[in-house]
Amino acid sequence: MSITGAIVAKDWTELRRDRRVVIMALMVLALAATAILTSTVRVASYEADRAATLEVDRGTWENQGARNPHAAAHFAKWAFKPLTMGAVLDPGIASYSGSAVWMEAHNQNPAVARPIDDQTIILPSGEFSIAWVLQVLMPLLIAVIAAGAVARERERGTLKLILASGSGAGAFVRGKLASVGVVTAVLAGSVIMVGMVAAASAGPANPLMLALWLIAYAAFLAIIVLGAVAVSLRARSSGQALLVLAGLWLFAVVLVPRAGAAVAEIAAPVPSSEQFWADIAAAKAAQPSPFSTGREAFAAEVMAQYGVTRLEDLPVSFGGLQLEEDERIGNAVYDEHFGALFALYDRQRAVMRWGNLLSPLPALQNLSMALAGTDMPQQIAFQRQAETHRRSMVTQLNSDMIEHGAGAGFDYQAHEDLWAEVEDFAFAPPSLGEVLASVWADALILLAWLAGATVFALRSSRRLLAEGA
């Protein structure tokens, strides 16, 4: 048997005999299994509710009877964001962001109906999920396992005997890395595989997305293993190693993400909801409305366009043209203000990315949420697509009034067949290329951390050369 295999077999036997490690590992696995079950039920329940609500919404819309198209535009429809299979792996911000948009005339409404409002238990450091177990609990478990990997041999006095046996410091370090890596792979791998099966059963799966998600977590856990073993190489005792690793865990896993979010809020403050909507109302009020301050100019423009001298002679509905012009003016205001708001969100993400200099966790979280389809850019994509659909729907209704409502004004009533022509909203998730374009920097940063952890482990192993000399 090779020295690496012998070390792996020896450490595996010792870990199985250590009840503290076994109990902790079983607790992590139990929590992971609970997280998988909880996430699967949550996503399935949400999708069932969404499908039922869509059916009711569609039936109500098509059965509203003959009425004015603009009244129907105010009656409006809902846009619902689906939860993809990725939400089983990492719910990201899905529970904290709105999942429904009310699409009505004149107004670009925000996303509402946050799933988190219906939950009774919220973890202080993230939502209970497979991702949370892998990001928070698994590094702590690795620290407990790796703390004594080398330091325990030094305490027992067996380290010098192993090195004096001629096995070599390099083979010894590779053996320790392999032993901790094998345990990590067994524990984390079983969690991830079960999670992916559950995710695939929740809906259509993108194999490449799943593979990249798996690679990201493999890189993160490899960083933890390399760093933890390196600390054990440098520590004089297993207790000292565990204390250092616990401190690093608190700093990198608990403190850095929270501090990064706080710094981002200070660096790119987002206006309050009241201020945001007040600014939009003021901006819309400052525009020349085709119903009041700008009516005469707009009427003259329309009459010149159609070659008539009286509004009564128009071959189309002037009221419908007013509505469409009011939509155009309002949309320009919404584009400006929502564009500025989304730019602030992007700036906050850029500021938080600086936290990657202190911890690899922010980079992993960005990659995990993006590949799971539950990050902020995909939430913004949903809101933008819902707004695009709203505008298309309102224009379709206004166009019917413009074309068929000449002379009738707002007394015109459209046939109920029109409602069946209005399509339901269907969210199109960003492509893999778009997703990767938003997180390529995080992927490079995670690779840089992996390279740094490897160098740190190699440099730490030099201590063994001196001890074995």
Angle, in degrees to the nearest 10, between helices 138-147 and 238-249: 160
Token pair of 283, please? 């901006």
**Widest distance between CA atoms in the chain:** 106
CA atoms of 49 and 14, how far apart (whole Å): 50
CA atoms of 375 and 368, how far apart (whole Å): 9
Q: What predicted TM-score, i.e. pTM, was given to this entire model?
A: 0.88
In terms of residues, how long is the chain? 469
User: Residue 65 in 3-state DSSP?
Assistant: coil
Task: Write the burial class of residue 427 (CB in 10 Å: 0-12 exposed, 13-18 middle, 19+ buried).
Answer: middle
SS3 content of the chain, % helix, strand, coil (to 5): 75, 5, 20
pLDDT reported for residue 467: 58
Which runs of E-coded beta strand occur in 72-194?
77-80, 100-104, 107-108
Which residues fall within 8 angstroms of residue 184, CB to CB, at 6 or more apart? 138, 142, 145, 221, 224, 225
Alpha-carbon distances of 434 from 3, 40, 438, rounded to whole Å? 46, 26, 7
C-alpha triplet 156, 162, 164: angle, nearest 5°: 120
Q: Are 100 and 113 in contact (CB under 8 A)?
A: yes
Which element (helix H / strand E) includes 307?
none
Residue 255: DSSP 8-state: I
Q: Are 199 and 210 in contact (CB under 8 A)?
A: yes
Task: Write the burial class of residue 383 (CB in 10 Å: 0-12 exposed, 13-18 middle, 19+ buried).
Answer: buried
Residues 197/198/202/206 CA torsion (nearest 10 deg)? -40
Token pair of 61, please? 């819309």
Residue 83: DSSP 8-state: P
Which element (helix H / strand E) includes 303?
helix 295-306
Alpha-carbon distances of 351 from 125, 356, 437, rounded to whole Å? 19, 10, 18
User: Residue 260 in 3-state DSSP?
Assistant: helix
Which residues fall within 8 angstroms of residue 302, CB to CB, at 6 or more apart? 311, 314, 318, 321
Per-residue pLDDT of the chain (469 residues; tens, 9 = 90+): 576 677 777 777 777 777 777 888 888 888 888 888 888 888 888 889 999 999 999 999 999 889 999 999 988 899 999 888 888 889 888 878 888 999 999 999 998 877 665 554 444 445 788 999 999 999 999 998 888 888 777 777 777 776 666 666 777 788 888 888 988 998 898 888 888 888 877 777 788 988 999 999 999 999 999 999 999 888 888 889 999 999 999 999 999 988 988 998 999 999 998 999 999 999 999 999 999 888 999 999 999 999 999 999 999 999 999 999 999 999 999 999 999 999 999 999 888 888 888 999 999 999 999 999 999 999 999 999 999 999 999 999 999 999 998 888 888 999 888 999 999 999 999 999 999 999 999 999 999 999 999 999 988 887 766 655 4
Q: Across the strands, what pairs with 100?
A: 80, 112
Q: Are 116 and 461 in contact (CB under 8 A)?
A: no
Strands 107-108 and 77-80 come out as unpaired
In this structure, how many other beta carbons lie within 10 angstroms of the beta carbon of residue 101? 25
Token pair of 349, please? 């993400």
pLDDT reported for residue 124: 41
290: phi then psi, degrees, rounded to nearest 5: -70, -5
Give the closest residue to 173 by CA, choosing from 7, 21, 2, 16: 7
Which runs of E-coded beta strand occur in 153-307?
none
